[in-house]
Structure formats: structure tokens, C-alpha cells
Amino acid sequence: MTDKTVSLLHAQEIHQQAKAAGKKVVFTNGVFDILHRGHVEYLEKSRELGDLLIIGLNSDSSVRRIKGPQRPLCSQEDRAIVLSALACVDHIVLFDEDTPQKLIEALAPDILVKGADYSVEQIVGADVVLKNGGKVLPIELTPGKSTTGLIKRIVAAYGTGED
């Protein structure tokens, strides 16, 4: 896929090495279906909070279950390649579950971030990170920049593409 896409086992090793070196690992997750300004600004803010940014990327089957049969628009491979091109992204781990709970439990990141549209209590894995002495930080999102909004604008401008 990409050199930034790693297995969970490799991500755990990376985190252990970072921790031994006194570095902080930041984790976030998402679909990142059509990468846009809101995503980029969110990921850059996330990376600024620590020394490494690991992204949990929903697999195609996970996206279909949580977003519906018409998503994702871009395959997991395409999404990983686009995310890998961002300098702020250090590593990507694909996950098949509906939530990143197991991934967060396995990684135990130092800092867990999610958009500020979630309260700390709503952020999946927050309990694990806090229990391990880490931080959970909601990050303000760029107003008016969302994948759903972008899809709606595309459909309004170009129609559904169905004849």
C-alpha cells in the first residue's frame, strides 16, 4: 500500500520505541474519504500535539457498515496513499471494526484526538487513554468543511449521475 501504512504489531513497536526515546505518540482515526482542507488542518493540528501521528483508517468494509453502501467513494488503498502524502502523517493502521476501540487498546497512545464535535466522554477509546495516563483532546474543526457537505455540493452541482 504505502511505506507509511503499517500493521498493528509494527505500530505497537513504533510506539514503544518512541516512548523509550521520550516522544509522544498522537492517535486519531477516521474515514478520510475525500480529503479536503478540513481534514488537512485537523491532521496538522493533531500532529503539532506530539512527535508522531498515527492514523487509524477505517477499512472499506468498516466504512460501508457505518456510512452506508455508497461509501467509501475512494478505496482504502487510495485513501491511505493520499494520507501518506501529507507530511504531518507518520503512520497509518487500517482497521476493520466499526470503532477503533481495539486499536486504541492495543496502541495506548499518549494523546488521543478527535474533532470537537465530540465531547471527551463520546470519544471512543478515551477511557483507555486516560486510564494509562494519556490525554484526550477534542480539536476544533474548520467550519463549513466536511466530506458530507462536499458530497452534497457535488450532487447539487452535477446531479446524482444516474440516468
* Extents of the domains making up the chain: 8-158
Q: For 8-158, CATH number?
A: 3.40.50.620
Phi-psi sector, 108: left (phi>0), alpha (psi -120 to 50), beta: left
- Please, are residues 131 and 112 in contact by the beta-carbon 8 Å criterion? no
User: What pLDDT was estimated at residue 108?
Assistant: 95
pLDDT along the chain (163 residues), means of 10: 92 96 97 92 97 98 95 96 98 97 97 91 95 95 80 85 59
User: What pLDDT was estimated at residue 154?
Assistant: 85
Q: Which 3 state secondary structure label does DSSP give 112?
A: strand
- Please, are residues 31 and 76 in contact by the beta-carbon 8 Å criterion? no
User: What pLDDT was estimated at residue 149?
Assistant: 81
Whole-model pTM: value is: 0.92
User: What pLDDT was estimated at residue 148?
Assistant: 77
Instruction: Please report how many Cα atoms fall inside a 13 Å half-sphere around the Cα of residue 5, on the Cβ side.
Output: 17
